[in-house]
């Protein structure tokens, strides 16, 4: 359950572009993880950033999930996320880091309890 995709980038998106990115990312990442989209949380924040000491398009993506994170799933999901980040944010894959976190359910609160 509970996949969370937190994207921070230098891309300055208007509301329509941000909504398109969030909608496609929610569906694609939930599918890639084999998780129901009804539990998927996706956010986007614009921020000033540097990569390799230089300005330009940059993104940092944090993906946390209870299960489904590991060497079998991560390469496919990484390719999916990188493609979405390039398509919607204009950030090439060589200027984007993705951090995968497999977390126990006891570390995520929901509905006043934990998973």
Question: How many C-beta atoms lie closer than 10 Å to residue 81's C-beta?
Answer: 23
CA distance linking residue 5 with residue 42, whole number of Å = 5
Structural domain for 72, as ranges: 4-114
pLDDT confidence of residue 1: 62
For this structure, is 3 an active site residue? Answer: yes
DSSP codes joined into one string, 19-35: HHHHHHHHHHHHHHHT-
| 80: its two tokens | 């999916």
What pTM was estimated for this model as a whole? Answer: 0.96
CA distance linking residue 18 with residue 6, whole number of Å = 13
Residue 8: name the closest of 37, 38, 47 by CA: 47
**Residues 33 and 1 sit within 8 Å (Cβ to Cβ):** no
Span 36-78, pLDDT tens digits = 999 999 999 999 999 999 999 999 999 999 999 999 999 999 9
Q: Which of 3, 36, 75, 104 is catalytic?
A: 3
Average pLDDT of the segment spanning 81-94 = 99
Q: What is the CATH number of the domain that holds 41?
A: 3.30.429.10
| 82: its two tokens | 């990188």
**Residues 81 and 42 sit within 8 Å (Cβ to Cβ):** no
CA distance linking residue 81 with residue 110, whole number of Å = 25
The structural domain count of the chain equals: 1
């Amino acid at each position: 359950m509970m996949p969370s995709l937190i994207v921070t980038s230098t891309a300055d998106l208007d509301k329509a572009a941000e909504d398109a990115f969030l909608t496609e990312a929610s569906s694609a990442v939930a599918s890639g993880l084999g998780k129901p989209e009804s539990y998927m949380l996706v956010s986007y924040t614009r921020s000033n950033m540097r990569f390799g000491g230089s300005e330009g398009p940059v993104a940092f993506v944090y993906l946390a999930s209870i299960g489904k994170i590991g060497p079998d799933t991560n390469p496919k999901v990484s390719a999916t996320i990188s493609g979405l980040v390039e398509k919607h944010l204009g950030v090439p894959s060589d200027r984007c880091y993705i951090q995968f976190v497999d977390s126990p359910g006891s570390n995520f609160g929901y509905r006043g309890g934990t998973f």
